[in-house]
Amino acid sequence: MARIIVVLALVLVFSFALVSATSHYSFQHAEELKPLIKWRDYSPDAFAEAAKENKPIFLLLTAPSWCYWCQVYESEDYLFNPKIVDYINENFIPIYVDADKRQDLTRQYLEGGWPSTTILTPSGERIFGYSGVRPVENMLENLKRARAFVSQKSFSNSLKKNYIKVKERIPTKQELENLQSVYTQIILQAFDKSYGGFGTGQKFPQGRTLDFSLQLYEKTRDKTFLDIVEKTLEGQYTSPNELETNYNLFDPIEGGFHRYGTQRDWTPPHYEKMLYDNARLLRTYFHLMSLQPQNNLAREVVEKTDSYIQKNWYDSLNGGFYGNTDVHGEDSYYAKNPRPADKPRVEKTKYSDWNAEAVLTYLYLYEKTRNNTYKEIAEKSLDFFKNEMLSDQGAYHYFKNGEKKVRGNLLDNSYLLLAFTQGYETLKNPSYLEAAKKLADYSLNNLYDWNSGGFFERNSPDKELYAPGENILLEKPSEENGIMTFALLKLYEKTDDLRYLNAALKTFGNKINEVGSLDRGYYFIKSAEFILNNSLLDKYSQNKEKIENLEKEQKEKFWLNDFLKNEGEFKLTSSESEKFNAPAIVLIIVSLFLGFLSFASPCTLPILPAYLAHSLKSSRKNIFAMSLLFFLGIALFYTFLGMSASFIGSFLKSNLTIFTQISGIVIMLLGILMLLGKSFPTLNVKTKKPASYISSFLFGAVIGLAWTPCTGPLLLGAFILASNSSSLFLGGAMLFSYSVGLSIPLLAISLYLKKSKNSKIMKIMKGKEIRIELNKQNFTIHSNSLIAGILFIILGYLIFSGKLIAFNNLVSTTPLQKWLFNLEEKILGFLR
């Protein structure tokens, strides 16, 4: 009996220790420890205190209400270790930022993931930062270095801003069509055929991209796009029988999706559940279910996710949705069936942007089903935000326990504008149209750039929530500008207000080269589709005079003009005046260097088959001369492009899409001619036909034109140098110099081939005849013509179809490409 009592006692002690260890990392524990550090709010007072005491700022951007690693970081093992606590309190001004409530600061300070720690000077300049947890001794050492750095200098708490003024423009029809094509190719390239989703690393749901794939399937009936969504659903789904061994993104017990999968196969997930992800995925898989009523997996996911949202997040009394559910012990809770009685914590804060996503989903469900439950959810939520979250200074970001805060951000105004516009379209409630117009007018008056197009990230009246001067942020985030563009286009459709059409098109023109991929680019792609389907470019042209008169009036009272006069607060630069100060000879040499380095860029790969094919058509004796003329052809094209002020350069730039497609067709035809020989009626080519000097030069020019859409970072840098050069001819000379630099490695190869005595190389260069028998007739074709023709046809197809651009997007994330981008930035920064 005594032994049993001892065993039971040991079990109890072990169980208590296990529970204690589990609860060691939790939101509640993080909240208990929080007062140990003397946190300040993010405010002018905190920055003024740092400047007065000349101390660095320790800024923590965290989300412990749902983020497990934030809970780990905010424990005695790391941030709240006594050594760290004492050192921060004595030597730093610590600022605590809730990442969800202050999403306006997340873009500025997030170091890649949560928790995010940034060390700033008293004037707000970044010293260093990191995401995740760090060993205590490592943290302490870095904090001491930051303190020593600041103590050796003096700082003010003033903040200067750079405003870049560029010429307004609207996108062309060709640009919009090409953008849609490129976006589709990126989806196809990024799709993981093994596990679904996109990419081969950590997997985020990408609900918008999946829904766009279904839209493509509806248009084209190409099952490839349907397979993308079906395969992704299969990969995200978790079988109730595999909770402990193969837990993927979907929760089959309570419903809903977790935030992301940590590996390619979606396992294990980060267990927090977010409103915005679940809203997007509910809409997407309902779309799939409506296309395939027999898909039981889609039906189960839709029913359980809808149930989870309504049961856990929807505020049926007041309207609106709560934001998220925390990780709650991760697999110690979620991997169990049945689940423990202690349920995960729901963060009962309503965020405007996430609620807009949910409202759009329930409006969509009501449109498709006419189920009044969905109508009531959408209606009550829109009414809540209309009555509680709108002000004369724009939308508030969050609402909790009667408190609403943070106004004047593009994020919330763009999302709610779209939700109210769609609400009016679906429910025909005129008060929603008035709410949409109120948000649109506020955004045009306070966030829109009447000089250049595009919407600024922030113009907040809540100065007490920011560092000095930081309530105005002149960045133009791409994703939110895409949402605003689409919302304004939809609102123009309802009102015929030309201000909305003008701002939408000018915003698209301003961001045309910064459209993101997958979910981030979705609303720009939807905008392109909307513009083309409704002939809005023609409507703009028809009303151009009226629009210009409206713009003239708005530009005169543009709020930024007053700030531009104050050079102490703003520095005005423009694309026309921002020239490089380096001497011309330095700019030309740098362009040569950029061209030489471009040979190492993955984006240079598409030009190699063309060069190889050309070399095979050249004799050993004249290969160097032919190669030289080939690259002179490329150089001529880039020289014209560099002389951007000239008629030829401007004409080429504005019609680049159609010229690229034409060049793709020309290259394919050249390949066919190589296969057929000199004369079309016969295939009888007994010797390889050497390339002529003129054809080498012209072919180089065609390749230069075709290759331009696949510009790598260093060619982009050369274009930037040329476009900002002080004269027309210097711009052309710089691009010519770039072309020479690019040609050096391949010309060296040509010279080697010319002088080589290697018998194997000679044999390859010489080639041989190949006899083909068709219908009892013998045909002869030279091996070099065959290889060159095939390479030309493949390259021409890649150019014509736009897949060469998709290749560029695919390699842009490689380490080498990122290094080249950084090098370009350093070179351009040095020359300014």
**525, 543, 578: which is the final residue of a domain?**
578
Mean pLDDT score of the chain: 81
pLDDT at res. 5: 43
Cβ(592)–Cβ(738) below 8 Å: yes
Please write the tens of the pLDDT for every residue from 268-278: 999 999 999 99
Residue 22 belongs to domain with CATH number: 3.40.30.10
Top-confidence residue, 145 or 733: 145
Stretch among 52-61, 119-128, 241-250, 820-829 having the lowest mean pLDDT: 820-829
Q: What is the mean pLDDT of residues 648-676?
A: 62
* Residue 819: how many other CB atoms lie within 10 Å: 13
Domain count, the chain: 4
Evaluate if residue 249 carries a pLDDT over 80.
yes
pLDDT digits (tens, 9 = 90+) for 80-90: 999 999 999 99
The residue among 730 and 710 whose pLDDT is bigger is 730
pLDDT, mean of residues 784-813: 62
Q: What is the pLDDT of residues 732-787, one digit of tens each?
A: 676 677 777 777 777 777 677 666 655 565 555 556 667 776 666 666 666 666 77
The reported pLDDT for the residue numbered 10 is 40
Predicted pLDDT at 757: 57
Report the C-alpha gap between 121 and 605 in whole angstroms.
Answer: 43
Report the amino acid identity of residue 192.
Answer: D
Q: How far does CA 306 lie from the centroid of its chain?
A: 28
Whether omega for the bond prior to residue 56 falls within 30 degrees of 0, making it cis, is no
Task: Name the most confidently modeled range: 162-171, 186-195, 491-500.
Answer: 491-500
Does 343 share its domain with 268? yes
Of the pLDDT bands very low, low, confident and very high (cuts 50, 70, 90), residue 651 is very low
Q: What is the mean pLDDT of residues 88-116?
A: 92
> In this structure, are 769 and 742 located in the same domain?
yes
The share of the chain scoring above pLDDT 90, in percent, equals 52
- Indicate if the pLDDT at residue 356 is higher than 70: yes
Range of weakest confidence among 3-17, 102-116, 172-186, 196-210: 3-17
Decide: helix, strand or coil at residue 473: strand
Does 457 share its domain with 341?
no
Give the single-character DSSP code of 521: G
780 and 632 belong to one structural domain: yes
User: For the segment 367-379, what is each residue's pLDDT rounded down to a tens digit?
Assistant: 999 999 999 999 9
Q: For residues 810 and 798, is the Cβ–Cβ distance under 8 A? A: no
In a domain, 180, yes or no: no
Q: For residue 134, what pLDDT is reported?
A: 86
Q: Are residues 634 and 493 in the same domain?
A: no
Task: Write b or e for each residue in 451-486: b if 16 or more Cβ atoms lie within 10 A of its Cβ, otherwise e.
Answer: bbbbbbbbbbebeebbbbbbbbbbebbbbbbbbbbb
Is 806 contained in some domain?
Answer: yes
Reply yes or no on whether the pLDDT at 20 is more than 70.
Answer: no
Q: What is the largest CA-CA distance in the chain?
A: 104
pLDDT for 21 equals 40
Residue range 315-333, pLDDT digits in tens: 999 999 999 999 887 888 9
**Is the pLDDT reported for residue 670 higher than 90?**
no
Choose one of 158, 183, 215: the last residue of a domain: 158
3-state secondary structure 95-156: EEEECCCCHHHHHHHCCCCCCEEEEECCCCCEEEEEECCCCHHHHHHHHHHHHHHHHCCCCC
Report how far residue 502's alpha carbon sits from residue 668's, in angstroms, rounded to the nearest whole number: 40
Average pLDDT on 196-215 reads 95
Q: What is the pLDDT of residue 609?
A: 56
Torsion sign (Cα): 85, 89, 95, 96: positive
Rounded to whole angstroms, how far apart are CA atoms 759 and 753? 11
User: Comparing 694 with 511, which gets the higher pLDDT?
Assistant: 511
Query: What is the pLDDT at residue 434?
Result: 98
Q: Is pLDDT of 700 > 60? A: yes
pLDDT in tens, 559-579: 888 766 654 444 434 333 334
Same domain, 251 and 280: yes
Long-range contacts of 288-294 (CB under 8 A, 24+ apart): 288/214, 288/229, 288/230, 288/233, 290/368, 291/214, 291/217, 291/218, 291/226
Phi, psi dihedrals of residue 740, rounded to the nearest 5°:
-65, -45
Question: In terms of domains, do 195 and 231 share one?
Answer: yes
Q: Is the pLDDT of residue 630 over 80?
A: no
Kind of pairing, strands 273-274 and 346-347? unpaired
Answer whether residue 172 is part of any domain.
Answer: no
Q: Say whether pLDDT at 429 is over 70.
A: yes
pLDDT for residue 764 = 58
pLDDT of residue 579: 42
Q: What are phi and psi of 782, to 5 degrees?
A: -80, 140
Amino acid making up residue 635: A
Query: Which residues is 96 bridged to in the sheet?
Result: 60
Please name the residues in contact with 753: beta carbons below 8 A apart, sequence gap of 6 or more. Answer: 615, 620, 623, 624, 761, 765
Phi, psi (deg, nearest 5) at residue 261: -90, 135
Q: Domain ends where: 348, 381, 414? A: 348
- What's the CA gap between 764 and 787, in Å, rounded? 11
The answer to whether the bond into 122 is cis (omega within 30° of 0) is no
Write the CA distances from 502 to 443, 453, 492, integer angstroms.
Answer: 13, 9, 10
pTM of the model: 0.70
Domain range for 458 is 365-578
The set of residues, in sequence order, having a beta carbon less than 8 Å from that of 148 and lying 6+ positions away, is none
* Mean pLDDT to the nearest integer, 548-560: 90
Are 208 and 126 in the same domain? Answer: no
d(CA 7, CA 12): 9
Given this model, what pLDDT does residue 767 score? 60
> How far is it, in rounded angstroms, from Cα 818 to Cα 541?
40
Does some domain include residue 64? yes
Burial of 391 (0-12, 13-18, 19+ CB in 10 A): middle
Residue 42 reports pLDDT greater than 60: yes
Task: Tell me, yes or no, whether 653 and 615 share the same domain.
Answer: yes
pLDDT tens digits along 477-499:
999 999 999 999 999 999 999 99
- DSSP summary character for residue 516: P
Q: Is residue 177 part of a domain?
A: no
Residue 737 is predicted with a pLDDT of 76
Residue 179 lies in a domain: no
- CATH number of the domain encompassing residue 525: 1.50.10.20
Residue 184 lies in a domain: no
Q: Which of 30-34, 186-190, 545-549, 796-800 has the lowest mean pLDDT?
A: 796-800
Tally the C-alpha atoms within 13 A of residue 40's C-alpha that lie toward its C-beta.
22
Q: How many residues does the chain have?
A: 832
Does residue 150 sit in the same domain as residue 211?
no
Whether 723 is in a domain gets the answer: yes
- d(Cα 421, Cα 430) in Å, to the nearest integer? 10
pLDDT at 706: 53
Average the pLDDT over 42-56 and give the result.
94
- The residue among 672 and 300 whose pLDDT is bigger is 300
Question: Judging by DSSP bridges, how do beta strands 394-400 and 346-347 pair with one another?
Answer: unpaired
Residue 206 sits in the same domain as residue 258: yes
Cα–Cα dist 710/606, whole Å: 8
Share of the chain above pLDDT 70, in %: 71
Does the pLDDT of residue 581 top 70, yes or no?
Answer: no
Find the CATH number of the domain harbouring 321. 1.50.10.10
My answer on whether 497 and 604 are in the same domain is no
**Packed helices 223-236 and 207-220: angle between N→C axes, nearest 10 degrees:** 150
